[in-house]
Amino acid sequence: MHNKTLADIIAGLNRGDFSSVEITRHFLDRIHQLDGQYNSFITVTAEAALASAAAADQQRANGSVPLFCGVPMAHKDIFCTNGVRTSCGSKMLDNFVPPYDATVVENFANAGAVILGKTNMDEFAMGSSNETSYYGPVKNPWDTNCVPGGSSGGSAAAIAARLTPAATATDTGGSIRQPAALCGITGLKPTYGRVSRWGMIAFASSLDQGGPMARTAEDCALMLNVMASFDGKDSTSIDRPVPDYSNYLNQPLSGLKIGIPKEYFGEGLNPGTEQAVRDALVEYEKLGATLVEISLPHSNLAVPAYYVIAPAEASANLSRFDGVRYGYRCENPKDLRDLYMRTRGEGFGEEVKRRILVGAYCLSAGYYDAYYRKAQQARRLIKQDFVDAFQQVDVIMGPTSPSPAFGFGAKGNDPVAMYLEDIYTIATNLAGLPGMSVPCGLVNNKPVGLQIIGDYFDEALMLNVAHQFQQATDWHQRAPEGLA
């Protein structure tokens, strides 16, 4: 039962092969039995899930139902859920129970989905390994000595371990694509503005974007149909019709032009990862696509620009956590200053504090022009590289991350080594473009992801490009040993 994709589950529920209560209970039992090994959930909402599954079964018995009616899934713990703790992986929000749902959560509720719980993540979505979570690290189901990637490592690991068929996630610099790659699943970061950020706890507002994680591109299309919406409550939400992404999944790839950026195959790329990606490109040629070598000349500016802009925005966004309004408050503050200092000192973890310090520094009067303004100028050049490339090609492909999953603590003492994990994913966030990761191989039995970058609002094309690959290969069907 747990090997079923979302598409299988929807079809099975429609046929009456099983009830929502049965499938929901099955996943809850698996979480209960197995998640002690992976730590992929922060909160499991078993009772509420079974109640909404029972209600979904009743609704189905009474007539026509929305597409996700009774379908179990999970939300990353960055999305506010009415009445259910939303921690964002931080001690600061350990006690935070939002009085409202994020728009994404509401969209899934309206579509009838059953929520199994909230998944683990790096604190405030800062990280690439899930080691910064206040709730402890998530373990990669392919090798529990290795990280699942981050920040959406809980969502990715839960899907890989078949504890949920799908989950929401967010991507500020790679947090959907990199953990999807390291856990052997499929994830999509939509165009900036496609999915509402309302109720999604802010990290770096000009980069954050919610998106789907599942085992297949077909399932990501089903989820994006629900997630994407115009939302007046998010000032950067874009008012543009949402296509039915599932309708575009059967287009042949003949004539497709795939850009291969030479900068994505240079120094630092693991040879096994490179081989798997090159094999995938050969598969695309067999499917009728043409490979075109391109250049994204400002790629080397992406990581440095991101690590000025993202911390700058984070330092502003995280100033709201002051011990006064909500969240953690230190014990017995002497005065207001002591309240602020100890609340933030005790409530935030090390990486979050590092980002706040870097961000505040880059925005300070003497350094704004030297760092923040320069980073924004670099961002503009990076975006222009992509605009130029998409004059020549339909999609861009390369590796999602430089290597397969690494061991716990492997990059622990060196923040810059960790920051380089996102060397291939960050530029798309800076440009606001959509990106995907699709399983394309195994190196020493650890998954490798192929990254597909599309032009603005080309999610339908990208999903079809990914789906065609998944029709021709079976990497997305591989499971960690013993978990299929």
Catalytic residues: 76, 151, 175
In angstroms, give the least distance from the CB of 246 to ligand GLN.
26
How distant, in Å, are the alpha carbons of 38, 127, 333, 440 from that of 351? 22, 8, 24, 31
Considering the rule CB under 6 A, would residue 132 count as an interface residue with ligand GLN? no
Judged by beta carbon, residue 180 or residue 389, the one nearer ligand GLN is: 180
Site string for ligand GLN, 188-207 (x = CB under 6 A): ---------------x----
The size of the interface with ligand GLN (CB under 6 A), counted in residues, is: 13
* The two three-digit tokens of residue 346, written as one number: 């005790």
Judged by beta carbon, residue 310 or residue 397, the one nearer ligand GLN is: 310
Helical residues (DSSP H) of 232-270, grouped into ranges? none
Select the residue interacting with ligand GLN from 84, 93, 310, 450 (CB under 6 A): 310
Considering the rule CB under 6 A, would residue 127 count as an interface residue with ligand GLN? yes
Select the residue interacting with ligand GLN from 28, 44, 71, 125 (CB under 6 A): 125
In angstroms, give the least distance from the CB of 128 to ligand GLN.
4
Instruction: Give the interface segment with ligand GLN, choosing from 49-57, 125-133, 240-248, 360-368 (CB under 6 A).
Output: 125-133
Q: In what order do the strands lie in the sheet with 257-261?
A: 41-44, 114-119, 72-76, 166-171, 209-214, 186-189, 435-443, 446-454, 395-399, 257-261, 290-294
What sign results for the dihedral spanned by CA atoms 243, 244, 247, 253?
positive
Q: Which residues contact 380 (CB under 8 A, 6 or more apart)?
A: none
In angstroms, give the least distance from the CB of 465 to ligand GLN.
22
CA dihedral 333, 338, 339, 343 (to 10 degrees): -110
Element (DSSP H or E) covering residue 385: helix 374-392
In single-letter form, the type of residue at position 427 comes to A
Interaction residues for ligand GLN, span 399-438 (CB under 6 A): 422
Instruction: Give the interface segment with ligand GLN, choosing from 64-72, 133-141, 165-173, 365-373 (CB under 6 A).
Output: 165-173
Select the residue interacting with ligand GLN from 35, 101, 171, 234 (CB under 6 A): 171
CA angle 153, 138, 359 (to 5 degrees): 60
How distant, in Å, are the alpha carbons of 5, 23, 126, 374, 406 from that of 2? 8, 8, 30, 49, 27
The residue at minimum Cβ distance from ligand GLN is: 175
Please state whether beta strands 72-76 and 114-119 pair in parallel, antiparallel, or not at all (unpaired): parallel
CB 461 within 8 A of CB 395: yes
Select the residue interacting with ligand GLN from 43, 52, 128, 246 (CB under 6 A): 128
Judged by beta carbon, residue 74 or residue 113, the one nearer ligand GLN is: 74
Judged by beta carbon, residue 310 or residue 440, the one nearer ligand GLN is: 310
From CA 27, how far away is CA 31, in angstroms rounded? 6
Considering the rule CB under 6 A, would residue 151 count as an interface residue with ligand GLN? yes
Select the residue interacting with ligand GLN from 81, 172, 315, 468 (CB under 6 A): 172
Angle between helices 6-15 and 217-227 (to 10 degrees): 80
Judged by beta carbon, residue 172 or residue 216, the one nearer ligand GLN is: 172
Considering the rule CB under 6 A, would residue 451 count as an interface residue with ligand GLN? no
Instruction: Give the interface segment with ligand GLN, choosing from 14-22, 120-128, 268-276, 444-452 (CB under 6 A).
Output: 120-128
Considering the rule CB under 6 A, would residue 352 count as an interface residue with ligand GLN? no
From CA 417, how far away is CA 402, in angstroms rounded? 11
Considering the rule CB under 6 A, would residue 133 count as an interface residue with ligand GLN? no
Considering the rule CB under 6 A, would residue 90 count as an interface residue with ligand GLN? no
Considering the rule CB under 6 A, would residue 130 count as an interface residue with ligand GLN? no
In angstroms, give the least distance from the CB of 22 to ligand GLN.
35
Judged by beta carbon, residue 126 or residue 227, the one nearer ligand GLN is: 126
Report the interface residues with ligand GLN, using CB under 6 A: 125-128, 151, 171-175, 203, 310, 422
